[in-house]
Structure 1
Amino acid sequence: MADNNERTPLLKVEHLSKEFPAESGMFAKRFSKRVVSAVNDISFEIYPGETFGLVGESGCGKSTTGRTIMRLTKPTAGKVFFQGKDVAEMSKHEIKDMRREMQFIFQDPYASLNPRMTIGEIVSEPMTIHGVGTKEERIERVRELLDVVGLNPEHINRYPHEFSGGQRQRVGIARAFALKPKLIICDEPVSALDVSIQAQVLNLLKELQDKFGTAYLFIAHDLSVVQHISDRVAVMYLGKMVEVSDWKTLYSEPHHPYTQSLLSAVPVPDPDIQKTRKRIILAGDPPSPLDPPTGCRFHTRCPIAQGICSEKLPEFKEVAPGHCCACHFAEPFPIKESHIDL
C-alpha cells in the first residue's frame, strides 16, 4: 500500500459527534443531562482500497458512527467528507448518488434480507433503485455476483429462508457489491455467524477487495477478527476514540491501557504462551453514556488512573508516526504486571 500521506482520502471524518435525546422515561428523571452522547468528537480518514477497523465494546458508538457516515442519521456536530464533498450539505439527489458509491453490509443476515423477496430480487434491488441496466442485464449481473461470492447462480429464484446464515451473509455481500461501490461499511458482518463460517466470510471480503479495490470501514468488537482484515485499526471507548494505528503496531505496542486490556483477552493459539499470559480484567462495567465520567472516560476502570485522569480530558495526539493515542500516560504496554490484580 502506498504512503497515506501521499494520497487523497476517500472518506474524511472531522470531529464527528452524535447525540440522541432522552426526554422521557426513567432516564430523563434520573439524569440531568437529557442526551445520550453516542459518538463524541472523533476524527479519522479512510483511503482508497484500504480497510479501516473500528473496534470497541457494545454500546461504544461504532455502529452509530457507521450510520452517521452513511447519512442514515444526521450528525449533531462535525463533518463527513466523501470524495471531497460534505455529506451533511448534500441534497437528496446528491445523497442518492453518494449511496451508489457507499454501501452497507449489516450485522444480522437474518433480519437484513426481505423474506418475501427472492435472492435475485434482493441483489438486484440497488441496481433497480439507481436505474442501472436493463432487466436482462441486471439478472446477468446478479448471476455474476452470486458466483463471485460462492453461491450457485441457479439459486437466483430461491428465498432467504432456504439458506444458512453464512450463505445469507454472502447474499448481503453480493448486494453491497452490486453497484461497484468505492466504500463499504461493514457493521459487524461476521458476529452473528459460527466461528468456522466467520473465516470464510472474512476471506471472501478480502478477495473481493483485492479484485475490485473497494475500501472498507470494518466495524467489530472482536480484535482477533479485525486483525485479519484491517490495514489500520481505531479503538473506541464510550463514544471516544482512544487509539489509532496500523494493526501491526497496535497489536505489538498498544499505548492505551484500554487497548492493552482488550488485547489481553485475545486467545493465542500456542498453549504454552497462552498459559503464561496475564489477563487484564477491568473493574466494573462501562459507565452510562447518559452520564459519562469527567476527564478521561476510561479512568473509572483504568488500573493506572491518577488524579489528572478524572480532571482533564487527555489530548488525542501522535505518540509515534501514524500512531495516535488519548492517554495522559501513553507508552508501550502502560499497564505493568504490578498493576494487575492476579
Structure 2
Amino acid sequence: MANTTKEPLLKVEHLSKEFPAEAGMLAGRFSKRVVSAVNDVSFEIHAGETFGLVGESGCGKSTTGRSIMRLTNPTSGKVYFQGKDVSKMSHKELKEMRRDMQFIFQDPYASLNPRMTIGEIVSEPMTIHNVGTKEERMQTVRELLDVVGLNPEHINRYPHEFSGGQRQRIGIARAFALKPKLIICDEPVSALDVSIQAQVLNLLKDLQDRFGTAYLFIAHDLSVVQHISDRVAVMYLGKMVEVSDWKTLYTEPHHPYTQSLLSAVPVPDPDVQKTRSRIILAGDPPSPIDPPSGCRFHTRCPIAQAICGKEEPKFREVAPGHMCACHFAEKFPIKETHIDL
C-alpha cells in the first residue's frame, strides 16, 4: 500500500486526447470531426500503489495509459512524473524517464518480436539504456525468468514455443528488467484463461511487494481490479465518473454506471447470485464523435432527469477521498424500482 502523504509519483491533470475522424456534414455544414477518446482526466498515483482504471471497451482507458507514457501525444493537459512535466521532455529526457516507467501490453502474442529469442526480448530495455555488459544482462535475464516462473534454460527459445500465459510472463519480465518505479499494465490478463489470470495477478502482486513498483492497472473487469488495486477509477466515454479506494467503491458505489458494472460481476456462491438484481442498461454507448450533451451517461441512465441532459455534473468529493460526477450521487443511486430486468 502506498504512502499517500508524500508527493505523488505520477500526477495527471486535465488530460485529453482527440483523434481526427472523417470529415462530414454536421448541422448542415461541412466539418472536420474528431473522436474525443479521453476528456479532462485527472488523478494521482503514489509510490508502491496500484491504481485501477476500469470501463467498457472504447472508453479511453488504453489511450490514457499510452498518453501518459507519450506513446501517443496528448491533445491537452499535463502529466507529471516524479515532479517533471512529461509533455516538455526532450527525446533524451523522455528516454531517461522510460527507465522508471514501463509498459505491459494487452496482447502477449503481438507484443513479442517473433524473430527475437526470449533472452534478447527481456534484455532489450537494458541494451537500449546501456545497462551492464552483455554477460551481466544475460545473468539478469535468467534471474528475471526465474522470478516470473519460467525456466532460465529456455533463454534461447522463441515466443512461438510458449503459451499465452508464459508469453505474458515474458512481457512482465521485460517490464521489470530496469526495475522501474511505475508500470502501466494495459489489460495484462484479458487475453488469458481465467485460471492463468489468477496466476499472473498473483505474480504482479508478488513483484510489487519485492520491488515496490507502482501500477496503473487498466482493465474492463471489476472482479480482476478488485484483487490488485488500492484505488479504482471508473471511466465512461472518455471521462472519469467515480474514484475511490477499492473497498468503498465496491460496497458504496455513488454513480449509477459504477453500480450497474458491479451488478454484472458474478458471485461464486450460487445462492447469493440468485438473490442479486442485475441492472440492464438500455442501448449501446454513444459515439465518441458526437457525445451526448450534459452528462455523457444520461442516455442510458435509469435515474436520469432533465438536468442530466443539460448540465455536465461536476467531479466532486462525495465522501473523504471519494469523487463522483453525478447530479444525484448517493450510495446505490439506482433503487429497485428503477432496475430493468
Which of the five TM-score ranges fits, normalised by the shorter chain?
over 0.9
Q: Percent identity?
A: 87
The structure-2 alpha-carbon separation of the partners of 1:153 and 1:3, relative to structure 1 and needing over 3 Å to count, comes to closer
Once the two structures are superposed, the pairs formed by residues 303-342 of structure 1 within 5 Å of their partners are 303-342=302-341
Partners of 2:187 and 2:161 lie apart in 1 by 23
Matched ranges for 1:1-342 at <5 A:
1=1, 4=4, 6-24=5-23, 32=31, 34-342=33-341
TM-score for the superposition, normalised by structure 1: 0.97
Residue 100 of structure 1: SS of its match in structure 2?
Answer: coil
Contact 1:101 1:180 in 2 (8 A): yes
Does structure 2 retain, via aligned residues, the 8 Å contact 1:33–1:291? no
Q: Which contiguous aligned blocks of 4+ residues in structure 1 show a shift greater than 2 angstroms?
A: 23-27, 29-33
Which amino acid in 2 is paired with 1:94? E
Q: Is contact 2:24-2:32 (8 Å) kept?
A: no
- Are the equivalent residues in 2 in contact too, given 1:31–1:290 (CA < 8 A)? no
Structure 1 residue identity aligned to 2:284: D
SS at match of 1:249: helix
Q: Deviations over 1:169-205 (max 9, x none)?
A: 0000000000000000000000000001000000000
- CA 1:329/1:49 → structure 2, altered by over 3 Å: closer, same or farther? same
Structure 2: runs of 5+ lacking an equivalent: none
Letter in 2 for 1:74: N
Contact 1:39 1:239 (8 Å CA) reproduced: yes
Kindly provide the amino acid, as one letter, of the partner of residue 229 in structure 1. Answer: I
Distance change (3 Å), C-alpha of 1:287 and 1:302: same
Distance across 2 between alignment mates of 1:218 and 1:73: 18
The SS at the match of 1:175 is helix
Distance 2:3 2:99 in 1: 27
Q: Secondary structure at the match of 1:13?
A: strand
The 2-side partners of 1:20 and 1:77 are apart by 12
- Whether the 8 Å CA contact 1:296–1:309 is kept in 2: the answer is yes
The CA distance in 1 between the partners of 2:3 and 2:9, in whole Å, is 14
* CA distance in 1 between partners of 2:178 and 2:30 (Å): 45
- Alpha-carbon distance in 1 for matches of 2:122, 2:73: 27
| SS of structure 2 residue aligned to 1:123 | helix
Asked if structure 2 preserves the Cα contact closer than 8 Å seen for 1:31 and 1:291, the reply is no
Distance 2:263 2:140 in 1: 45
Distance 2:25 2:264 in 1: 35
1:23 deviates by: 3.7
Aligned counterparts of 2:116 and 2:210: Cα–Cα separation in 1: 28
What secondary structure, in the 3-state scheme, does the structure 2 residue paired with 1:145 have?
Answer: helix
DSSP 3-state at the match of 2:98: helix
Q: Deviations over 1:259-292 (max 9, x none)?
A: 0000000011111110010000000000000000
Q: CA deviation at 1:22?
A: 1.1
Residue identity opposite 1:191 in structure 2: S
* Cα contact 2:184–2:216 (8 A) shared by 1: yes
Amino acid at match of 1:98: M
The answer to whether the 8 A contact 2:233-2:242 is kept is yes
Letter in 1 for 2:97: M
Q: Secondary structure at the match of 1:19?
A: strand
1:42-88 C-alpha deviation (Å, 9 max, x unpaired):
10000000000000000000000000000011111110000000000
Deviation string, structure 1 residues 192-249 (Cα, Å, up to 9, x no partner): 0000100000000000000000000000000000000000000000000000000000
Q: What runs of 5+ residues in structure 1 fail to find an aligned partner?
A: none
Report the RMSD for the aligned CA atoms in angstroms.
1.5
User: Could you list the per-position Cα deviations for residues 130-184 of structure 1 after superposition, in whole angstroms to 9, with x for gaps in the alignment?
Assistant: 0000000000000000000000000000000000000000000000000000000
8 Å Cα contact 1:149/1:204 also seen in 2: yes
